[in-house]
Amino acid sequence: MLDSFRWGNSIKEGITVAIIGAPNAGKSTLLDTILNEEKALVSDIAGTTRDFIEVHW
Ligand SMILES: Nc1nc2c(ncn2[C@@H]2O[C@H](COP(=O)(O)OP(=O)(O)OP(=O)(O)O)[C@@H](O)[C@H]2O)c(=O)[nH]1
Ligand SMILES: [Mg+2]
């Protein structure tokens, strides 16, 4: 049980994932694609997303 707890708990509770990358790398596009929702503004201007965007998915 001890050995399988982390794996089982990750499936049950989910895991925390951070999308990190250079300005204009496509982080917001990736997030919106995963969510199938326009959560983060996508633009060709580097530095569009300034705040942390936290979602539960
Ligand atoms: N060719 C190409 N362009 C992409 C891709 N993903 C995103 N873009 C374009 O790259 C530009 C930046 O995309 P964003 O998703 O806003 O990038 P970001 O990393 O969130 O940018 P910042 O928030 O400014 O740091 C936009 O014009 C997107 O349409 C991709 O896979 N291929
Ligand atoms: Mg962004």
pLDDT digits (tens, 9 = 90+) for 6-32: 999 999 999 999 999 999 999 999 999
pTM score above 0.75: yes
- Per the prediction, the chain carries an average pLDDT of 94
Q: Is the CB of 51 under 6 A from ligand 1?
A: no
1 band by pLDDT with thresholds 50, 70 and 90: confident
* Per-residue model confidence (pLDDT) at position 19: 96
Which of 20, 27, 29 to probe ligand 1 with, by most ligand atoms within 8 A of CB? 29
Whether residue 2 has pLDDT greater than 90: no
Provide the token pair at 30: 């990736």
CA of 38 to the centre of ligand 1 (A): 13
- Which helix (DSSP H) or strand (DSSP E) does residue 4 occupy? helix 2-13
- Per domain, the residue ranges of the chain are 1-57
Provide the token pair at 19: 């999308």
